[in-house]
Amino acid sequence: DTLWDLAIAEVEKRENHDDDDVKPGEVWEKSVLFMGNKNGGKTTIILRCLEREESPKPTLALEYTFGRRARRHNTPKDVAHFWELGGGTSLVELIRIPVTVHNIRSFAVVLVLDLSKPNELWTAMESLLQVTRNHVNKILTKLEKTNPEVAAEIKQRMWNNLQRDHPDSALVDPFPIPLVIIGSKYDIFHEFDSEMRKIISKTLRFVSHYYGASLVNSVVFLLIAKCSLDTFSFFLFSKSVSVDPSKPLFIPAGLDSMSQIGPPPASDSDLGKMRANTPLELWKKVFEKTFPPKSFSDLQDTKDPAQDSQYAEYEIDVMRAQKNQ
DSSP 8-state symbol, 87: S
Residue 301: per-residue pLDDT: 54
Please say whether the beta carbons of 160 and 121 come within 8 A: no
CB-based contact 92:131 (threshold 8 Å): yes
Q: CATH code for 27-324?
A: 3.40.50.300
pLDDT of residue 226: 42
Those residues with Cβ within 8 angstroms of residue 174's Cβ, 6 or more apart along the chain or in another chain: 158, 159, 161, 162, 211, 212
pLDDT of residue 22: 45
Q: What pLDDT is recorded for position 203?
A: 92
What residue spans of the chain are helical by DSSP H? 3-15, 42-49, 118-146, 148-157, 186-189, 194-210, 218-224, 233-237, 258-261, 268-273, 279-290, 314-324
C-alpha distances in Å from residue 253, one per residue of 25, 78, 155, 209, 257: 31, 24, 16, 7, 10
Beta carbons of 213 and 181 less than 8 angstroms apart: yes
The CA–CA distances, whole Å, from 301 to 136, 173, 266 equal: 30, 35, 35
* Ranges of residues in the chain whose predicted pLDDT is under 50: 18-22, 24-25, 27, 222-237, 299
Nearest by Cα to 232 from 221, 241, 240: 221
Cα end-to-end distance, the chain, whole Å: 81
> What pLDDT does 247 receive?
81
CA distance 125 to 200: 13
Which pLDDT tens digit goes with each residue over 167-197? 887 788 888 888 989 888 888 888 888 888 8
AA letter at 300: Q
